[in-house]
């Protein structure tokens, strides 16, 4: 398990390459849910996703031998952008990234600005991950794991440090969970410094890999997700988040439906003028759908990413208007 000292070290390591994202007080959302809601705007990070933190820390800690062989990774999109940015900032080459053919176009198009080789394979993250592992075995490239590496997790954990610095009396933090690296880093940082803060995992009901892993006492590293707009949260979890949940670093796991996530995207656009992808909206979805009882509490929802296809965004934003017209 990653330690607080490693997270503090990561904060110093990555500080020159990114910026501290705001923690924004959301009065309108607070009124709707009966809690003091604050939004951690990781969708405003340089690559529009928190994933940059972990990729930068992991790649900054590469040995000379690892750098000499270049890097390879697999990603549904946001981790790929983080690796691409880190490769440019740290002058690491070559960088090869495997993405599923179903990866959102908004994310894949952004990769073109970075010095990376993109290979689209398969239909799921797991397909891309297997292809990246095979490439690593063939070439000796250094594998940059998206979520199940302590160095990556330490980078993600810097979000927790920033939340505590900006809101020391926070009561609960809602964290989107796909592979689980972000919630592990946040949980270790926050529970070490403020043990009473509740850490709540939020997953799409279409891919409840963490919930099912805990229910079955078996870590589902691969998971056959149903269709979901939360592409960054689809699939299996890592061993680190399974262990963290077993150690009670995670207080609860809640699931949100697709229509609830779409409603959260609309609410964030309408009340905050903030654009968030499905994966980044699930924490707000859980609040609006009353999936958690946090009445009267000071709550942070991590908006983990904002890389959403414009076509999907337009479809979601017009749904409410169509329903009013039909009714």
Catalytic residues: 51, 304
Distance CA 204, CA 233 (A): 7
- The tokens for 284 are 């707000």
SS (HEC) of the chain: CCCHHHHHHHHHHHHHHCCCCCEEEEHHHHHHHCCEEEEEEHHHCCCCECHHHHHHHHHHCCCHHHHHCCEEEECCCHHHHHHHHHHHHHCCCCEEEEECCCCCHHHHHHHHHCCCEEEECCCCHHHHHHHHHHHHHHHCCEECCCCCCHHHHHHHHHHHHHHHHHCCCCCEEEEECCCCHHHHHHHHHHHHHCCCCEEEEEEECCCCHHHHHHHHCCCCCCCCCCCCCCHHHCCCCCHHHHHHHHCCCCCEEEEECHHHHHHHHHHHHHHHCCCCCHHHHHHHHHHHCCCCCCCCCEEEEEECECCCCHHHHHHHHHHHHHHHHHC
Residue owning tokens 């960088």: 95
Residue owning tokens 């080459």: 93
Q: Which of 35, 28, 34 is nearest to 299 (CA)?
A: 35
Q: What is the dihedral of CA 21, 22, 27, 33, to 10 degrees?
A: 40
Q: Which of 224, 221, 184, 183 is nearest to 207 (CA)?
A: 224
CB 96 within 8 A of CB 71: yes
């Amino acid at each position: 398990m990653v330690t607080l000292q490693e997270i503090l070290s990561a904060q110093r390591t990555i500080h020159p390459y990114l910026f501290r994202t705001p923690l924004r007080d959301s009065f309108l959302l607070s009124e709707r849910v009966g809690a003091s809601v604050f939004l951690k705007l990781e969708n405003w990070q340089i690559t529009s996703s928190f994933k940059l933190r972990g990729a930068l820390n992991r790649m900054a800690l590469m040995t000379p031998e690892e750098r000499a062989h270049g890097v390879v990774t697999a990603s549904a999109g946001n981790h790929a952008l983080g690796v691409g940015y880190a490769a440019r900032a740290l002058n690491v080459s070559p960088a090869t990234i495997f993405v599923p053919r179903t990866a959102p176009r908004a994310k894949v198009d952004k990769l073109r600005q970075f010095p990376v080789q993109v290979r689209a394979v398969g239909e799921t993250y797991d397909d891309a991950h297997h292809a990246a592992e095979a490439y690593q075995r063939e070439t000796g490239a250094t594998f940059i794991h998206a979520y199940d590496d302590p160095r990556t997790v330490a980078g993600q954990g810097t979000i927790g440090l920033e939340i505590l610095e900006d809101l020391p009396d926070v009561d609960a933090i809602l964290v989107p969970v796909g592979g689980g690296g972000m919630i592990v880093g946040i949980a270790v940082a926050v529970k070490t410094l403020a043990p009473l803060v509740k850490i709540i995992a939020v997953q799409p009901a279409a891919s409840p890999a963490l919930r099912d892993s805990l229910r079955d006492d078996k870590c589902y590293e691969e998971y056959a997700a149903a269709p979901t707009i939360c592409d960054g949260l689809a699939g299996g979890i890592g061993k680190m988040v399974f262990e963290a949940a077993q150690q009670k670093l995670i207080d609860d796991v809640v699931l949100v439906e697709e229509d609830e996530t779409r409603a959260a995207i609309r609410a964030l656009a309408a009340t905050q003028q903030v654009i968030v992808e499905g994966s980044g909206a699930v924490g707000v979805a859980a609040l609006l759908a009353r999936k958690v009882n946090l009445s009267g509490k000071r709550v942070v929802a991590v908006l983990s990413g904002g890389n959403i296809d414009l076509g999907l965004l337009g479809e979601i934003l017009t749904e409410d208007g169509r329903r009013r017209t039909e009714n």
